């Protein structure tokens, strides 16, 4: 029970990595607010948590909306039972395939709105609460291995994840005096609906072939599982990582370590 007595929120928790993290946080004793724009997915995550004996509730949240970001923190504090928010995992994000010339200004803005503005607004609301309580808290921001290693035709997505990493480090400096830790997760390719959708859209009829080539990018010759990233999020959420601040934690099967 590594999060016993803790109150946590996870955005984008209706699917993939966010869902696996919300389930793991609850299994480790946290009271979890599941936030997502997808109400059906969010409700399903809550059901899975409750079936496992955990405590969770869903709040429909568009992370690009400042009011929604504040309401999310208020909901987590109100339902957590301790008057605190201990862990905020800003995980919600969207992808976009395209080089700079292929990316429309509208698509650029959409990716930046969810992936960067969404994290910024979440951090703003969480820090306000964590400053007001004793002992601070842990903020985890979802970046990506793409912040450190280029991947073709991902201009807006890569820029957004680089921004999240830079935001995390800068924010950590300001937040440290209040006992607030701010760390970034940098997953490689994780087999989630996000990646399944990409394979379907970009490689119609050749998904297996594309998957085989993506497998070879990792030193493990395999994609990651949502649970692999959830385990790293749990470490950053728990007091075990109390000396880990402003870190970029890679969970990528050796993708950024080097080529075999």
Strands 180-187 and 248-251: parallel
Candidates 87-95, 127-135, 148-156, 176-184; binding stretch for ligand NAP (CB under 6 A): 87-95
Choosing from 3, 8, 16, 255, the residue that interacts with ligand NAP (CB under 6 A) is 16
Q: Would residue 157 show up in a list of annotated catalytic residues for this protein? A: yes
Residues 106-165 that bind ligand NAP (CB under 6 A): 114, 118, 142, 144
117 DSSP 8-state letter: I
Binding to ligand NAP by CB under 6 A, coded x per residue (else -) over 47-86, reads: --------------xxxx----------------------
Residues 196-255 that bind ligand NAP (CB under 6 A): none
- Smallest CA-to-CA distance from 56 within 2, 115, 14 is with 14
Instruction: Please measure the distance between the N-terminal and C-terminal CA atoms of the chain and give it in whole angstroms.
Output: 38
160 near 118, Cβ under 8 Å?
no
E strand map for the chain: 7-11, 31-36, 55-60, 87-90, 137-142, 180-187, 248-251
Give the C-alpha separation, 26 to 50, whole Å: 9
Give the C-alpha separation, 110 to 12, whole Å: 16
Q: Which of 157, 178, 191, 198 is catalytic?
A: 157
| Binding of residue 33 to ligand NAP (CB under 6 A) | no
Choosing from 54, 80, 137, 187, the residue that interacts with ligand NAP (CB under 6 A) is 187
Choosing from 24, 31, 36, 75, the residue that interacts with ligand NAP (CB under 6 A) is 36
Chain residues binding ligand NAP by CB under 6 A are 11-12, 14-18, 36-38, 41, 61-64, 91-94, 114, 118, 142, 144, 187, 189-190, 192-195
Active site members: 157
């Amino acid at each position: 029970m590594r999060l016993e007595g803790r109150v946590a929120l996870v955005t984008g928790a209706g699917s993939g990595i966010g869902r696996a993290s919300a389930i793991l946080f609850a299994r480790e004793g946290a009271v979890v607010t599941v936030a997502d724009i997808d109400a059906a997915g969010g409700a399903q995550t809550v059901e899975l948590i409750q079936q496992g004996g955990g405590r969770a509730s869903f709040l429909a949240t568009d992370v690009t909306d400042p009011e929604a970001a504040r309401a999310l923190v208020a909901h987590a504090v109100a339902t957590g039972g301790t008057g605190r928010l201990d862990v905020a995992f800003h995980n919600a994000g969207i992808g976009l395939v395209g080089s700079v010339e292929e990316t429309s200004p509208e698509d650029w803005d959409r990716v930046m709105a969810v992936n960067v503005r969404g994290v910024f607004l979440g951090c703003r609301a969480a820090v306000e609460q964590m400053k007001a309580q004793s002992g601070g808290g842990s903020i985890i921001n979802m970046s990506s291995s793409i912040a450190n290693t280029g991947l073709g035709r991902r201009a807006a997505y890569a820029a957004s994840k680089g921004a999240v990493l830079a935001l995390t480090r800068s924010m950590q400096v300001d937040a440290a005096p209040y006992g607030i830790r701010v760390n970034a997760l940098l997953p490689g390719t994780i087999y989630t609906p996000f990646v399944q959708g990409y394979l379907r859209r970009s490689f119609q009829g050749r998904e297996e072939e594309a998957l085989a080539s993506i497998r070879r990018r990792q030193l493990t010759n395999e994609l990651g599982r949502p649970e692999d990233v959830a385990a790293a999020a749990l470490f950053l959420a728990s007091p075990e990582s109390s000396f880990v601040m402003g870190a970029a934690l890679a969970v990528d099967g050796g993708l950024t370590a080097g080529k075999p």
